Structure 1
Amino acid sequence: MIYGIGTDICDVRRIRASVERHGERFAAKVLADAELAAWRQRSSRWPERGLRYLATRFSAKEAFSKAIGLGMRMPMTWRHCEVANLPTGQPVIVLHGALKQWFEARGLRAHLSVTDESDYAASFCVVEKI
């Protein structure tokens, strides 16, 4: 049974402006530790690729927060929601801390799709009750 659906589109230019204004602090606020390491690696080799990576993660977390019905309220936090990839490349939500406990207590499972183009990143998330 579907618990919730969320979608988000993010303007990569807005993410670029935030990084230019706040530097790495912005990325550190939005990304979990593993994501932050990946962002640094991608940004060092190709800055534009790093920005799109950050934008897709921002968008995916927004879509997930909408699908669970919390928005950006506790226990939903940027850093407790991580977007990882399976060996196949499929994006998955990995939760930590109180958000993980909240999600598991409700018997939920998330399905995620992300995409990006030069100026936009978009995400779609379906959360189901298992």
Structure 2
Amino acid sequence: MITGIGLDITELSRIEALDRKSSKFRERVLTAEEMTRYEALTGARKIEFLAGRFAAKEAFAKALGTGIGAACSFQDIAILPAESGAPVLFFRGEPSDGLVSITHTKTAAAAQVILQKPEHNG
């Protein structure tokens, strides 16, 4: 059963400006494991990664119904690749019962999150 849907889109230029200004934005948004992946990237791919994670985390918080704040911080959410490369959601260190899709264009990054609760037959 679907328990929440979230969608977010962000302009790459906005994320690039924040990232160029200081490292504080990326340190607030990315978990340690995500930061390691970010640092391994080069050029525009860094901004796409950061913007995609920002959008996905915003979408997750919207799907959860809390928004980003005391109940759900950027550091509570991680989006890490499965063996296949597909993004997987984690909330407070545990895999989330949800799906995430992240996409990029030349100017924007967008993400959609669908949270679900396993249905019990019986």
* Shared fold per TM-score greater than 0.5: yes
Q: Following the alignment from structure 1 to structure 2, what is the Cα–Cα distance between the partners of residues 73 and 110?
A: 20
The residue number in structure 1 matching 2:49 is 53
Q: 2:117 maps to what in 1?
A: 129
Map of 2:68 onto structure 1: 72
Structure 1 gap ranges (5+): none
Structure 2: stretches of 5+ with no match in the other structure: none
- Cα distance in 1 for residues equivalent to 2:111 and 2:30: 16
Quote the offset at 1:74 in angstroms.
2.4
Taking structure 1 as the reference length, the TM-score comes to 0.85
Provide, for residues 72-108 of structure 1, a one-character-per-residue CA deviation record: whole Å limited to 9, x for no partner. 12231101100101111111111226xx5xxx9xxx6
Partner of 1:13: 13
Q: CA deviation at 1:15?
A: 0.2
Q: Larger % of helix: which?
A: 1
TM-score (norm 2): 0.90
Count matched residues: 118
**Kindly, what percent of the aligned residue pairs are identical?**
31
**Hey, what does 1:115 align to over in structure 2?**
103
